[in-house]
Amino acid sequence: MTTEELEQLLVQQPIALLHRLARGRVQRHFRAGKRRLIEVLLRHSAENRAGFESDLLTLIGERQTRPAPPPQQTPAARKPKPSAPPRRAPHKPVEPESQEPAITLSSWLEGLGVPPSKTFVPDAWQDDAIAKLREGDVVVSVPTGSGKTYVAVEAARRAIAENRTVIYTSPLKALSNTKYTEFSKIFGADQVGILTGDRRDNGQAPLLIMTTEILRNLLYDAGGGEIDVRLDTLGLVILDESQYIADPERGVVWEETIIFCPSQARLLLLSASIGNPHDIAEWLTSIRPTPCHLIRHSTRTVPLRAGYLHPNGKLTPLFRTVGIPHGHPGHLHPEAKRLFLQYEDETLPSGRRR
């Protein structure tokens, strides 16, 4: 391939393919427009022309082996359209693809609505978490929005009833403020305090809210001999959003807090779903006086469905199935696939049409 031919070929490719090609080759390629991206890619290709060309051809090959869009749609997808497509195209039944038929939009939307109101019944895992705190530390790793706060509240309630101090930490000041309001409503304003670097609001309350850094500093002071007497009565430390332990800058603060947490206090770690919660639990067991229990599940309480909304307003399911096909990222809905390919073909970063 001559450089000219190569450039020609690059120009013919959709921008998404160019970005894929640029990965690992060009820094900050997301920022570049198509022209610029081609320029940079060409310059880069000099380093290893053969490898570059073969990558390009592979990527083009991959595109072509994807199922072709239905024939009557092809010309529209390839050519600039005279006007924007009608915003709400009449719903056409989706062509069934090969084996099992893909779901229709209407059945994907089915079931949407408000559940009948029920009296609050805690989930089994919530009860379990609270019960296990009697025996030792607890790590909870469940999906977003499952109800971890309930566990924190009930555990705190018990500890307070036993005249113990409870510390609740979050990684963000904003979150601390929200919880301060929320817990004040639940326990009464006199029962809840909040500590920041320069302010103590109701610092003698049995339930104290602070960021993890502030707690770490308290523990440092205790280690240095300046014992805040309240640490003696500390019964429970709740670390919310504890997946922050993997934060590149701040993660170490969670480790320090856990390492220096007084041994008579129970630890309750609340975390979003992570890949290795058992490692965290095993670690706690290895360094803390009581064994640590892991409470984990990955099913969402409110089931989740994924969809695709085309810029022209057309909505379709993202996957072939109603729910999310766990472990099968490739089970795309044919309509979503077609529309997205069309999108990739048509979009230039400048917003112009090809």
Ligand X SMILES: Nc1ncnc2c1ncn2[C@@H]1O[C@H](COP(=O)(O)OP(=O)(O)OP(=O)(O)O)[C@@H](O)[C@H]1O
Minimum CB separation of residue 208 from other proteins in Å reads: 12
Interface with ligand X (CB under 6 A), residue from 120, 199, 327, 329: 120
Interatomic CA distance for residues 311 and 313, integer angstroms: 5
Q: How many CA atoms lie within 13 A of 45 on its CB side?
A: 24
- Residue 122 binds to ligand X (criterion: CB under 6 A): yes
Q: Write out the two tokens for 244.
A: 């922050």
Residues 163-182, interacting with other proteins (CB under 8 A): 170-178, 180, 182
Residue 122 binds which of Mg ion, other proteins, ligand X, none (CB < 5-8 A, kind-dependent): ligand X
- Among 60-68, 126-134, 227-235, 277-285, which window interacts with other proteins (CB under 8 A)? 277-285
Q: What is the DSSP string of 233-274?
A: GEEEEEETTGGGGG-TTTHHHHHHHHHHS-TTSEEEEEE---
* 66 versus 134: smaller Cβ distance to other proteins: 66
Give the residue carrying structure tokens 């099913």: 299
Minimum CB separation of residue 50 from other proteins in Å reads: 8
Residue 93 binds which of other proteins, Mg ion, ligand X, none (CB < 5-8 A, kind-dependent): none
- Residue 273 binds to other proteins (criterion: CB under 8 A): yes
Give the residue carrying structure tokens 């300046």: 226
- Residue 177 binds to ligand X (criterion: CB under 6 A): no
- Residue 307 binds to ligand X (criterion: CB under 6 A): no
Quote the radius of gyration of the chain (alpha carbons, Å). 28
- Residue 280 binds to other proteins (criterion: CB under 8 A): yes
Q: What is the DSSP string of 48-116?
A: GHHHHHHHHHHHHHHHHHSPPPPGGGHHHHHSPPSSPPPSSPPPPPPPP-SSSPPPPHHHHHTT-SPPP
Query: How many C-beta neighbours within 10 Å does residue 138 have?
Result: 26
Amino acid letter for position 311: P
Pattern 145-184, Mg ion, x by CB under 5 A:
---x------------------------------------
Say if strands 192-195 and 200-201 run parallel, antiparallel, or are unpaired.
Answer: antiparallel
- Where is 193: in which H helix or E strand? strand 192-195
* 229 versus 302: smaller Cβ distance to other proteins: 302
- Among 3-11, 92-100, 157-165, 320-328, which window interacts with other proteins (CB under 8 A)? 320-328
Give the residue carrying structure tokens 């096909």: 325
- Among 63-71, 92-100, 140-148, 152-160, which window interacts with other proteins (CB under 8 A)? 140-148
Residue 169 binds which of Mg ion, other proteins, ligand X, none (CB < 5-8 A, kind-dependent): none
- Residue 264 binds to other proteins (criterion: CB under 8 A): no
Minimum CB separation of residue 303 from Mg ion in Å reads: 20
- Among 60-68, 89-97, 228-236, 309-317, which window interacts with other proteins (CB under 8 A)? 309-317
Residues 203-222, interacting with other proteins (CB under 8 A): 213, 216-217, 220
- Residue 123 binds to ligand X (criterion: CB under 6 A): yes
Minimum CB separation of residue 147 from ligand X in Å reads: 3
Q: Write out the two tokens for 251.
A: 């993660």
- Where is 333: in which H helix or E strand? none
Asked whether 292 and 136 are in contact (CB, 8 A), the reply is yes
In 3D, which of 297, 230, 269, 279 has the Cα closest to residue 133?
A: 269
Task: Kindly list the residues in this chain that would bind ligand X in the complex (CB under 6 A).
Answer: 120, 122-123, 126, 144-150, 272
Task: Kindly list the residues in this chain that would bind Mg ion in the complex (CB under 5 A).
Answer: 148
